[in-house]
Amino acid sequence: MNRFFICGELYHSYDTFSIYKYLSLGKTIVYVTNVTPENLRKCLNEYKIDMAMLLPILIYGLCDLQDADVLSEYLKIIYSVSAPLHYKTIEHVKKRFPNLKEIIQGYGMSECGDITSENWGTKGPKVGSVGMASPGIVLKVTDTNTGRTLGPNERGEIRVKGLVLMKGYIGIDPSTYLDEDGFLKTGDLGYYDDDKYVYIVDRIKEILFYNSYQVSPLELETILQMHPDVLEAGVVGIHSEVHGDKPTALVVKVPGSKVTEQELIKYIGAEVPPFIHLAGGVKFVTKLPRNSWGKILRRELREL
């Protein structure tokens, strides 16, 4: 890889780390601030980028562009950051852009640096996984109700410990974010497989409980995003005294689309089990609230 594209915020540790890493390897860094899918496409082609660190929303945007040559022959690796990328999305992107060799993910946070590495895996990248724990990092998955440490393929909160862990939050009791063994509670729901590859499901606080079932908004959003008439999609829970959190989708249509609520509900119903369908329906909006890293702002989404 010779030319590396980045569009993140330099106050995030991993963006800064990535720039240092690739400069030290003698690579050229291309940094863009005003990023849209169309501008991104032009940049990738003009500067012959072969590896790009992209937000999921930009990956979706590239897929929605109609040009057959939307990505040049040079781009071989997409590194997705800031939010989990569902395995179905990865499969869709690879079909859309057959010249890509790999779409990889890593997992990290400023409080503890690089938790996993896209390269740190004895069997190479696995679709949907963020890789294995980085050197110096101890990772465990914990049942949030009992505190029990879980084994392979059991979902729970990801907790981490290591020399790169932050000193602490100023003015906040460490017992609120560290467990009794000194592991940081990340707030992320995930698991690891038999090969110790880590998978992120969603943020624990964003998981919906509908009729006693756990529903991941990310999974529903991923499926909706693949519909040809959907530009953006966000899913939140609308509270019901009887059912709990009724999964509800807020959707931005592709300009000119006439897709209906019932069409999208039926589309979701054909892809998921009955207990995670869009019980709260679909609401059409003009824009989804996101932060500078492209993450959906859930609280503002609920207000919509």
Spatial contact of 250 and 283, defined as CB atoms under 8 Å apart: yes
pLDDT score recorded for residue 272: 86
Q: Report d(CA 26, CA 10) in Å as an integer.
A: 20
Q: Report d(CA 245, CA 217) in Å as an integer.
A: 11
Residue 175: both structure tokens together: 């017992």
Give how far Cα 126 sits from Cα of 59, 62, 113, 115, 129, Å: 19, 22, 22, 17, 5
Say if domain 3-105 classifies as CATH 3.40.50.980.
yes
pLDDT score recorded for residue 72: 65
Residue spans of the domains in the chain: they are: 3-105, 108-205, 207-303
Angle at 162 between CA 156 and CA 166, to 5 degrees: 95
CATH of 108-205, picked from 1.10.10.10, 2.30.38.10, 2.60.120.330, 3.30.9.10, is: 2.30.38.10
Tens-digit pLDDT string for the chain (304 aa):
688 888 766 777 777 778 888 889 888 998 877 778 888 888 888 888 888 888 887 888 888 777 656 676 788 888 887 777 777 788 888 888 888 888 888 888 888 877 887 655 667 778 888 889 988 899 999 998 899 999 999 999 999 999 888 999 999 999 999 999 999 999 999 999 999 999 988 888 888 988 888 888 888 998 898 898 999 999 999 888 888 899 999 999 998 999 999 999 999 998 888 888 899 999 999 999 887 667 788 888 888 8
pLDDT score recorded for residue 1: 61
Q: Report d(CA 250, CA 281) in Å as an integer.
A: 9
Q: What is the CATH number of domain 207-303?
A: 3.30.300.30
pLDDT score recorded for residue 68: 52
